[in-house]
Amino acid sequence: MVLSVLQEVTEKLLDEVGGPSLVAMWDGGNIVRNLPLEGTFTIGRAPDCDIVIDHKSISRKHAVLFLGRSLEVEDQGSSNKTKLGGVAIAPGTRIQVPWREPIEVGGAIVVVRPPKGLDEGANSNVGVSMKLDAERLVELVAKTEMSVLLLGETGSGKGYAAEQIHRKSKRAAGPWLHLNCAALPTHLLEAELFGYERGAFTGANQAKEGLLEAAAGGTVFLDEVGELPLPVQAKLLIALEHRAVMRLGALKARPINVRFIAATNAAIDEARGSETFRRDLYYRLAGMPIMVPPLRSRKAEIPALVAKFLSEGSQRLNRAEPVLTKDALARLTQYAWPGNIRELGMVIERALLWAGDTLEAHHLNIGFGALGSQLPAPPTAPLKTEPPPPTAAAIDRSLQDDLREVEKKRILAALDQCSGNQSRAASLLGIARGTLISRMNEFGLPRPRKG
């Protein structure tokens, strides 16, 4: 089974093996090896190397590892260099490497764990975590061209992690294409991804390049990739393998230059052996699988996220940013957040409707149900804005009427931002698509026409 959570594997190795161990990762594969306490080990693409990495970025004899009381590495004059901390090692020069410090061998990442008993030694590199956490993996993989598969619960921040990989990569200046595979209708998905030629089908009056072509030089983020229909999976596999796409109705493939990042909250690692997801496509997408932990296990990040949501939400509502009390922050930190980062953002934005100069714990309404069921008290102090004086009609309006108006404006803004796509608008609002449609009908909002 392909490693879906690298951390668990490396920690298990440390528990079961007394000697050093090696983990190597590259686009399309990985190796976990137990090593003797001392010796010399070659890394390369040649079959006679001690550590064989079959990847085009690796030279036949790429680098040598020297194991003993310390760890050293030497580049063997490779084409794509051996790097430590992003700095290329001069060929023929032996460099001491801290245990657990990632070594870039061409397009692969190699990590050597120390034998038991050396953890507190001079070369133990105490500053490096005992395991490669998701944030560190994101930092490492951003510098490579690996395909990345992000796994985790809904709303845990997979999209944010994907954007970070793009922004920290060599493709940062190129296009960033975020495609929700569950949002596009099946009959449109293939044409949107791969494009079509004139006359390919009724209504195709002119040729159109697909999204994979349009993102040349950038990154394609396939969100909810587990929802791809099987016929589209087959064409995507060909695009990944040959770096080319065949437009609908075309006779010749067109080259593409994109990096693929995929994400899913579905267990496609298990589904890949069934009829719902192709095994070969999984292996291509999961060049580097990264598990994004849920927010409940990342409590230290909550204060920074809250500050970000407070600032952004206040700007959207055109109001002064309130001061967050210690009790409110404690309440936010203690909550389990089953909806993860997405739920946190919605809680903060909703609280901004009720808070005055200070946002207190009772404004949060964490776990709050349907709007209007248990509304908190309105702010006692005016917001630091200068709205026009209320008219008599406005004074006669109920709080429920105001709330409905705010909700209606939020829905219209989300639909406008998503070009009328109801699935994406619902995702942006943090509600189910059925709930969005129900609220649109209630407000008398027209639904975009299909096709």
| DSSP-assigned states of every residue in 33-101 | EE--SSEEEEEESSTTSSEE---TTS-TT-EEEEESSSEEEEE-S-SS-EEETTEEPPTT-EEE--TT-
Q: Which of 199-208, 276-285, 291-300, 376-385 has the lowest mean pLDDT?
A: 376-385
Residue 203, both tokens: 């209504």
Q: Which of 73-77, 94-98, 217-221, 412-416 has the lowest mean pLDDT?
A: 412-416
Residues 263 and 226: their CA atoms lie apart, in Å, by 8
The average pLDDT across 231-240 equals 89
Q: What per-residue confidence (pLDDT) applies to 74?
A: 97
The residues near 91 (Cβ < 8 Å, ≥ 6 apart) are: 75, 76, 77, 78
DSSP string computed for 359-424:
E-GGGT-TT--STTSSPPPPPSS--SS-PPPPPHHHHHS-HHHHHHHHHHHHHHHHHHHTTT-HHH
For residue 21, the SS3 value is: strand
Q: What per-residue confidence (pLDDT) applies to 310?
A: 94
Q: What per-residue confidence (pLDDT) applies to 174?
A: 93
Global pTM reads 0.58
Is 273's pLDDT higher than 60? no
- Using pLDDT thresholds of 50, 70 and 90, give the confidence band for residue 274: low
Q: What per-residue confidence (pLDDT) applies to 4?
A: 37
Residues 56 and 316: their CA atoms lie apart, in Å, by 48
Is 322's pLDDT higher than 90? yes
Residue 80, both tokens: 């794509």
The residues near 407 (Cβ < 8 Å, ≥ 6 apart) are: 371, 439, 443
Q: What per-residue confidence (pLDDT) applies to 268?
A: 56
Is 19's pLDDT higher than 90? no
What residues pair up with 31 in beta bridges, in sequence order?
A: 24
Decide: 2 and 10 in contact? Cβ < 8 Å.
no
Residues 2 and 272: their CA atoms lie apart, in Å, by 11
**Cα angle 363-430-262, degrees, rounded to a multiple of 5:** 135
For residue 261, the SS3 value is: strand
Q: What per-residue confidence (pLDDT) applies to 15?
A: 45
Q: Which of 16-25, 174-183, 213-222 has the lowest mean pLDDT?
A: 16-25
pLDDT: which is higher, 177 or 137: 177
pLDDT: which is higher, 158 or 424: 158
Q: What per-residue confidence (pLDDT) applies to 16?
A: 45
- Using pLDDT thresholds of 50, 70 and 90, give the confidence band for residue 309: very high
Q: What per-residue confidence (pLDDT) applies to 134?
A: 66
E-strand ranges in 265-315 read 288-291
Q: What per-residue confidence (pLDDT) applies to 393?
A: 47
- Using pLDDT thresholds of 50, 70 and 90, give the confidence band for residue 133: low
Amino acid at 213: E
Decide: 108 and 26 in contact? Cβ < 8 Å.
yes
pLDDT tens-digit profile of 352-373? 988 889 999 989 888 644 444 4
Residues 372 and 99: their CA atoms lie apart, in Å, by 57
pLDDT: which is higher, 297 or 65: 65
Decide: 164 and 148 in contact? Cβ < 8 Å.
no
Residues 399 and 395: their CA atoms lie apart, in Å, by 10
Q: Order of strands across the sheet with 63-67?
A: 51-52, 39-44, 63-67, 71-75, 94-96
Q: What per-residue confidence (pLDDT) applies to 120?
A: 40
Is 410's pLDDT higher than 50? yes
For residue 123, the SS3 value is: coil
Length of the chain measured in residues: 451
